Structure 1
Amino acid sequence: MWSGTRSQLSGFRRHATLGAALAAVLLTLAAPAPALAEPPAPPDSRVVGGIRASILEFPWTVAITKSDGSPLCGGTLVAPAMVLTAAHCAIGRQPKDLLVIAGREDLLTLGGEIRALTGIWIHPFYTDVRAGDDVAVLRLALPLARPTLPLATPADTLLYGPGSYTLALGWGRTAEGGFPSRYLLKAALPIVGDPLCQAVLAGFEASSMLCAGYANGGVDTCQGDSGGPLIAGGKLIGVTSWGIGCARPYQPGVYVRVSTYQPLLDLVLRS
């Protein structure tokens, strides 16, 4: 069912809450993600807030704002008129409350395309980020003539192997409690094994979640990155969901395990 009315999320971590100075002009998303994996970080990604990314290289990465243009979350164009994001970004909102901006790398410019919404689908079992099912689909009023990113499927088990590198994208805060980035950023993050995630993150559920990051922290997604993409092998394998602080040691970021939801999402995208 397509709807825009659900109970409001109390707000855990990745939900975009920006400082007043930038709230009027920035549209939110990425930073680097907390850490728990053994592999060392690539030298060019170990920068709090990530490094510059080109929207031409990642054209399916979009920003989601409130209707007044204030930043909220990130998302991924998965069909010409469909954006996959986190349920906690859309819960309690109507289509008229949100806008999607595509093709804008520098959020202090007016580039790209803005789309209104005609529908919001939220996973029917979603209640809270720690309970899982943190997925939502936004239906655009007009399709975008841009590349889309395919979803990981249950057959893509190799993409979720511990130690495998992923790429997170967004315009979110570049440090815990810091300011968001005006530019699209990217950060390489290794997947952390499920037993380790369960050991350090209360509420982690391996069947519907994955976590990624470094044992000593320093690279992570953060506030403003909610709903944004985690990619590997040319597919969307995760949706930025929650975490404890940002880039803290032994606190990896948590992402929706897209492959678990792919069969259901395919039905939604065809509806």
Structure 2
Amino acid sequence: MRRSFAGPLTGALALMAMAVAAPGAAGGTTTPDGVVIGGQPVEISQSPWVVALSSRDRFGGTRAGQFCGGVLVAPAKVLTAAHCVSSDVLGVPLGQVRDLAVIAGRGTLKGTGGQEVAVSGVQLNPAYDAKSNAGDFALLTLSSPLSAGHAIKAAGAGHTAYKAGTGAVVYGWGDTKGDGTYADELRAALVKVLPDSACERAYPGYNKATYRADTMLCAGDESGGHDACQGDSGGPLVADGRLIGLVSWGSGCGQAANPGVYARLSAAPETWVARN
């Protein structure tokens, strides 16, 4: 349901992205879901917790089957948006997808580096409501673990990273222009956490979905131009070196009046992700 940078991160932008984002650092025809608007390519080694969800059976091999994003929260656990594993996105019930996998450590989808790891199990957030998009979380169990050092921690409830005005970075391989131009390499865009009131004004009942501050987080660019987009769903929003949101939904891409709505990590099931 959701929503890009243009050239490598350089200068002040690169330093800001590192400070905001890095923990410990100063053949199908189904349409892929939700990319990053106003962003730039980034090295996967700088953000090894970002993964791509893949099914070549459903989405073809041109972009390695990528259709959503995800984030490594434990060696064998990936958090993504619940709607990413819905039949609306996959085109068939989840049980009929024969090759669901995550791609880790590969920034360029057409490349050969990194690892492709099969998904052995999927848990939906018991509180997920597909109609309102509340609680938009799913936890994927991997068939074999990735490096524990590549996982990212989430910000707990009350963490300053959720404060309006905080700089944040959103990552993805989605649409970079809002016109179906999908990225082949991982991109990231600098945005800000916005007041809940900005999304409450924008989405009082958009397409049956209403912004709910208890399970959702508002982020974007007050002037427009920086946002997640189609193909980015499930990808991470990071601030102060902590995971604070997953790309969830919104109207359009990069529009000042329509910020991005993210699943708020403090509302994820308590046992699913480490917080501090």
Name the TM-score, length of structure 2 as normaliser.
0.77
Say whether residues 1:209 and 2:216 are aligned partners.
yes
The one-letter amino acid paired with 1:58 is S
1:92-125 deviation per Cα after TM superposition (whole angstroms, max 9, x unaligned): 4137441100011111112110001110001123
**Compared CA separation, residues 97 and 129, structure 1 to 2 (3 A):** farther
User: Runs in 1 of length 4+ with deviation above 4 angstroms?
Assistant: none
Instruction: Rate the CA distance shift 1:147–1:13 in 2: closer, same or farther, 3 A.
Output: closer
Counterpart pick for 2:155 among 145, 152, 172? 152
Gaps of at least 5 residues in structure 2 are: 4-26, 58-63, 87-92, 205-209
Deviation at 1:28, TM superposition (A): 8.1
SS state of the match for residue 240, structure 1? strand
Match of 2:188 in 1: 186
Match of 1:79 among 74, 82, 95: 74
Moved more, 95-104 or 50-59: 95-104
CA distance in 1, matches of 2:122, 2:141: 6
Q: Percent identity?
A: 39
TM-score using structure 1 length = 0.79
Amino acid at match of 2:107: E
Q: Deviation per CA, 1:202-241, whole angstroms, max 9, x where unpaired?
A: 2000010011112221111001100000001111100000
1:262 to partner: Cα distance = 5.1
Instruction: Show the counterpart of 2:60.
Output: none
- Residue 268 of structure 2 aligns to a residue in which SS? helix
One-letter amino acid of the counterpart of residue 68, structure 2: C
1:78 partner letter: V
Q: How many residues align?
A: 230
Q: Residue 117 of structure 2 aligns to a residue in which SS?
A: strand
SS of 2:46's equivalent in the other structure is: coil
Provide the C-alpha distance between the structure 1 equivalents of 2:245 and 2:115, rounded to a whole number of angstroms. 24
User: Is 1:30 aligned with 2:32?
Assistant: no
Stretches of structure 1 lacking an aligned partner (at least 5 in a row): 1-11, 15-21, 33-47
Out of 52, 55, 67, which is 1:63 matched to?
52
Backbone CA RMSD of aligned residues: 2.2
Q: Distance between the aligned counterparts of 2:36 and 2:214, measured in 1?
A: 25
SS, match of residue 130 in structure 1: coil
CA distance in 2, matches of 1:182, 1:28: 15
